[in-house]
């Protein structure tokens, strides 16, 4: 059993404090949905966990099985098992999806200590094994064959980009996956495929943090917990029914309840 | 009387004299007409032929501290050079040999191409020096009309350590409707300051298709003042790629003239430079005739204190009709101290143009792209390597022959890294 603990996380972007103390524990095998209105800090949370240089952590900890992630560079966080499906994935012109996936898998398999001589040691995935894994995953996610020879996200439609994020998530087999508004900008068919891709990752060894603005995706991905993020704080936590309530009443309802409670 | 003693020439940094040129030719047992062509070149080596430094294309490349070593080389053969032709090409009459050998065996083919010496005027002195004292590595290629050479012709020109100048000529003549790929891989050993002037002339006959790939991996200390001239007849296709790898400094002039209707020219360049290298390219593309096209794409990855300068001019002649041209120069700055100076110039002398434009950029790697790659497990160096490989891919993809591709990748790898064994999965 693996555990990702976020403790009192305070994050600012360009001098403006966005997260005001987030506490959240995600255990492997569970799916947590974080919902919140625009500007509530959803993307900030995901990018701060991954280590985007623009997001400055003022206070708090993100601990994965006892390791303080915030002390690690971005790539080491990825190798420790954290995967972020981006809301706005970058294009890498000239690098094919297949080559990107293979070199990334191999980069993740390098053991940093090697044989104890301090030199990193390569342990590349054999190409036939890679091909087999890729064929399996593209089939599962209904990804077209031509997709993998195109450049990463270069000229991709919104839906294609999200599919590629999900394909990467499956290829890298992370311990914890954070999905940042993976549902945004998708038509209903793409949404279903992407949601099925997320559900297919669900296993006792994987924890999922699903960040979304809309309840829509939760019709296909069934979270164990729903958290509501408002103004950089988690203000409510509940089960799936909380998502339905939000959909019905809107975020203002939570916000009003919150500020009434304060006054 | 040796020209070196004239007061005019003592003002220019390099000295050539008649005696040196004559002896160079006599020692090599060259025919009289060849010696005459060398002396004619010497005649063009005048103080006026030197760049004054005020020409736009020379302003960013100061010609000082020229290597002091001998300008006439005593080296007649490069140890690794081979002129390999397959049996079909030999049977079809293709000539691929050293220039001296070709001058003896095929004077009727060589003579018309050995004497002209024209091209961008601010490079005239260096062309003249190369034409007067060319030596080891000089090559002649002739492809008869209608002949398609299937295998790329590959020249490994590796100069052993010395302080002697490396002056060479390459003359490629592709007759009507022929096709050929020529790869020149230029390298040198040793650390001594020395001069290199590879002078390349490519004649693309009507309907012919030519690929010229020039790879430079000079040792540190080399000052390369090369010149290339491409002449395209009607309905021909010329593609050329210059790869600037290695550790030398280069100031290279490239001239491409389209002299007939419906010709296509594509000039590509890859610069992978570091240390305090300076790679300065000036190109001059002229378009004439009807519906011709001339495009240029130069990509630079610049590390440490390297600087890439590109001054490119496209001239659309008043007598042309419906031509198209585009000049693009992109520079990736991989250190705070690296720099790039892309300067495109369009000179359009007619209203009858389909397209004519340019694009130039210089900038650091995008933080977002780096973060994205690192979030997939690549450390910073690996992420950077991946992005640079991707950046270069636009040009690499133009090379259809896998061996040529690998040769180009091998040349840039010491600088850009070897993260991606590109091509394996495509």
Tens of pLDDT, residues B36-45: 999 999 999 9
Of A38 and B310, more confident: B310
B369 and A98 within 8 Å at the Cβ level: the answer is no
Structure tokens at B412: 């840039």
What is the distance between the alpha carbons of residues B123 and B121, in angstroms, rounded to a whole number?
5
Residues B401 and B283 in one domain: no
Give the β-pairing of A3-13 and A16-27: antiparallel
Q: Which of B337, B352, B368 is the last residue of a domain?
A: B368
For chain B, say whether A108 makes contact (Cβ under 8 Å).
yes
- Rounded to the nearest 10°, the torsion over CA A63, A176, A158, A92 is 70
Q: Over chain B, what is the mean pLDDT?
A: 93
Residues B299 and B401 in one domain: no
Structure tokens at A249: 């009443």
Query: Looking at the predicted complex, does its ipTM rise above 0.90?
Result: yes
Total number of domains in chain B: 2
Residues B413 and B345 in one domain: no
- String of b and e for B54-63 (b: at least 16 CB within 10 Å)? eeebbbbbeb
Structure tokens at B77: 């053969």
For chain A, say whether B374 makes contact (Cβ under 8 Å).
yes
Q: Over chain A, what is the mean pLDDT?
A: 91
Q: Please tell me the distance in Å from A259's CA to the nearest CA on chain B.
A: 36
Of B109 and A262, more confident: B109
B393 and A94 within 8 Å at the Cβ level: the answer is yes
A50 and B375 within 8 Å at the Cβ level: the answer is yes
CA distances from A262 to A19, A35, A235 (A): 19, 21, 12
- Which chain A positions have a beta carbon within 8 Å of B393's beta carbon? 93-95, 151
For residues B38 and B21, the answer to whether their CB atoms sit within 8 Å is: yes
* Phi (first) and psi of residue A110, to 5 degrees: -70, 125
In a domain, B400, yes or no: yes
In a domain, B5, yes or no: no
Say what the pLDDT of residue A120 is: 74
In a domain, B9, yes or no: no
Residues B421 and B277 in one domain: no
Say what the pLDDT of residue B4 is: 41
Under the banding of pLDDT at 50, 70 and 90, the label for residue A190 is confident
Say what the pLDDT of residue A112 is: 65
Asked if residue B215 has pLDDT above 80, the reply is yes
Asked if residue B21 has pLDDT above 80, the reply is yes
In a domain, B362, yes or no: yes
Residues B391 and B313 in one domain: no
In a domain, B7, yes or no: no
Structure tokens at A111: 């053991």
Q: Which of B368, B390, B406 is the last residue of a domain?
A: B368
Residues B116 and B171 in one domain: yes
- Rounded to the nearest 10°, the torsion over CA B2, B76, B280, B191 is -100
For chain B, say whether A151 makes contact (Cβ under 8 Å).
yes
Select from B406, B424, B413, B410 the least CA-distant residue to B385: B413
* Phi (first) and psi of residue A148, to 5 degrees: -80, -15
Question: pLDDT tens-digit profile of A191-207?
Answer: 998 899 999 999 999 99
In a domain, B4, yes or no: no
Say what the pLDDT of residue A256 is: 78
Structure tokens at B210: 């030519």
Residues B353 and B423 in one domain: no
Residues B363 and B388 in one domain: no
Residues near B114 by Cβ (< 8 Å), separated by ≥ 6?
A: B34, B37, B103, B131, B171
Residues B263 and B208 in one domain: yes
Percent over 90 (pLDDT), chain B: 88
Question: pLDDT tens-digit profile of B233-254?
Answer: 999 999 999 999 999 999 999 9
- String of b and e for B224-234 (b: at least 16 CB within 10 Å)? bbbbbbbbbbb
Q: Which domains does chain A have, with CATH numbers?
A: 3-262 (3.40.50.300)
Question: pLDDT tens-digit profile of A211-222?
Answer: 998 888 998 999
Residues B275 and B128 in one domain: yes
Question: pLDDT tens-digit profile of A102-158?
Answer: 999 998 888 766 666 767 778 889 999 999 999 999 998 888 888 899 999 999 999
Helix (H) or strand (E) holding A260: helix A251-262
Asked if residue A262 has pLDDT above 80, the reply is no
Mutate to test the interface with B, among A86, A95, A173 (most CBs of B within 10 A): A95
In a domain, B277, yes or no: yes
Say what the pLDDT of residue B12 is: 56
Say what the pLDDT of residue A114 is: 60
Residues B385 and B294 in one domain: no
In a domain, B157, yes or no: yes
For residues B60 and B309, the answer to whether their CB atoms sit within 8 Å is: yes
Q: Please tell me the distance in Å from B381's CA to the nearest CA on chain A.
A: 11
What is the distance between the alpha carbons of residues B385 and B78, in angstroms, rounded to a whole number?
34
A95 and B379 within 8 Å at the Cβ level: the answer is no
A100 and B372 within 8 Å at the Cβ level: the answer is no
Residues B204 and B124 in one domain: yes
Asked if residue A87 has pLDDT above 70, the reply is yes
Average pLDDT value for residue range B43-48: 90
Angle, helix B18-27 to helix B124-133, in steps of 10 degrees: 40
Residue at token pair 């304060």: A262
A89 and B426 within 8 Å at the Cβ level: the answer is no
Mutate to test the interface with B, among A72, A73, A107, A151 (most CBs of B within 10 A): A107
Q: How many CB atoms lie within 10 A of CB A240?
A: 15
Range of the domain at B324: 17-368
For residue A217, the SS3 value is helix
For chain B, say whether A52 makes contact (Cβ under 8 Å).
yes
Q: Which of B368, B384, B415 is the last residue of a domain?
A: B368
């Amino acid at each position: 059993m693996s555990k990702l603990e976020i403790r009192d996380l305070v994050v600012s972007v360009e001098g403006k404090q966005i997260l005001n103390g987030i506490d959240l524990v995600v255990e492997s095998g569970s799916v947590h949905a974080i919902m919140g209105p625009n500007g509530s800090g959803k993307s900030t949370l995901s990018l701060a966990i991954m280590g985007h240089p623009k997001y400055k952590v003022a206070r708090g900890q993100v601990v994965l099985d006892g390791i303080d992630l915030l002390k690690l560079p971005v790539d080491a966080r990825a190798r420790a098992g954290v995967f972020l499906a981006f809301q706005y994935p970058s294009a890498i012109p000239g690098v094919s999806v297949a080559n990107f996936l293979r070199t990334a898998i191999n980069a993740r398999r390098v053991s940093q200590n090697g044989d104890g001589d301090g030199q990193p040691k390569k342990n590349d995935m054999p190409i036939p094994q890679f091909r087999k894994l890729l064929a399996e995953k593209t089939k599962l996610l209904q990804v077209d064959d031509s997709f993998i020879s195109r450049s990463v996200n270069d000229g991709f439609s919104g839906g294609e980009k999200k599919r590629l994020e999900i394909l990467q998530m499956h290829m890298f087999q992370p311990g914890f996956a954070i999905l940042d508004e993976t549902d945004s900008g998708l038509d209903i068919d793409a949404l279903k495929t992407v949601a099925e891709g997320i559900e297919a990752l669900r296993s006792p060894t994987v924890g999922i943090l699903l960040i979304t603005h809309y309840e829509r995706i939760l019709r296909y991905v069934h979270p164990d917990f729903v958290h509501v993020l408002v103004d950089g704080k988690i203000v409510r936590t509940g089960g799936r029914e909380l998502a339905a309530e939000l959909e019905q009443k809107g975020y203002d309802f939570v916000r009003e309840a919150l500020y009434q409670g304060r006054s | 009387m040796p020209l070196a003693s004239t007061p005019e020439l003592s003002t220019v940094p390099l000295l050539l004299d008649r005696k040196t040129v004559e002896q160079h030719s006599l020692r090599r047992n060259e025919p009289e007409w060849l010696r005459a062509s060398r002396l004619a070149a010497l005649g063009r080596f005048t103080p006026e032929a030197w760049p004054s430094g005020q020409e736009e294309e020379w302003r960013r490349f100061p010609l000082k501290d020229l290597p002091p070593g001998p300008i006439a080389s005593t080296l007649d053969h490069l140890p690794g050079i081979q002129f390999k032709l397959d049996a079909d090409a030999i049977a079809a009459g293709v000539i691929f040999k050293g220039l001296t050998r070709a001058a003896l065996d095929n004077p009727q083919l060589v003579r018309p191409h050995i004497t002209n010496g024209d091209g961008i005027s601010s490079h005239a002195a260096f062309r003249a020096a190369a034409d007067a004292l060319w030596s080891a590595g000089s090559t002649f290629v002739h492809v008869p009309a209608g002949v398609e050479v299937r295998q790329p012709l590959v020249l490994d020109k590796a100069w052993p350590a010395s302080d002697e100048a490396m002056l060479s000529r390459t003359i490629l003549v592709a007759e009507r409707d022929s096709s050929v790929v020529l790869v020149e891989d230029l390298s040198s050993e040793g650390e001594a300051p020395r001069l290199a002037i590879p002078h390349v002339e490519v004649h693309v006959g009507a309907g012919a298709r030519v690929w010229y790939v020039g790879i430079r991996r000079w040792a540190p200390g080399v000052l390369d003042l090369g010149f290339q001239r491409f002449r395209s007849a009607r309905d021909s296709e010329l593609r050329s790629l210059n790869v600037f790898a290695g550790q030398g400094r280069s100031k290279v002039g490239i001239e491409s003239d389209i002299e007939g209707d419906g010709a296509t020219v594509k000039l590509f360049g890859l610069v992978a430079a570091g240390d305090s290298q300076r790679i300065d390219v000036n190109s001059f593309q002229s378009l004439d005739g009807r519906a011709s096209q001339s495009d240029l794409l130069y990509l630079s990855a610049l590390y440490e204190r390297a600087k890439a300068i590109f001054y490119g001019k496209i001239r659309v002649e008043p007598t042309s009709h419906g031509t198209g041209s585009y000049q693009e120069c992109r520079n990736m700055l991989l250190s705070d101290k690296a720099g790039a100076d892309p300067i495109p110039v369009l000179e359009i002398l007619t209203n009858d143009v389909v397209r004519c434009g340019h694009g130039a950029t210089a900038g650091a790697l995008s933080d977002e792209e780096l973060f994205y790659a690192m979030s997939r497990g690549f450390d910073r160096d690996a992420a950077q390597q991946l992005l640079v490989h991707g950046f270069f891919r636009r040009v690499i993809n133009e090379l259809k022959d896998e061996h040529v591709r690998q040769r180009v990748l091998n040349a840039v790898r010491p600088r850009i890294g070897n993260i991606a064994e590109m091509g394996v999965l495509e």
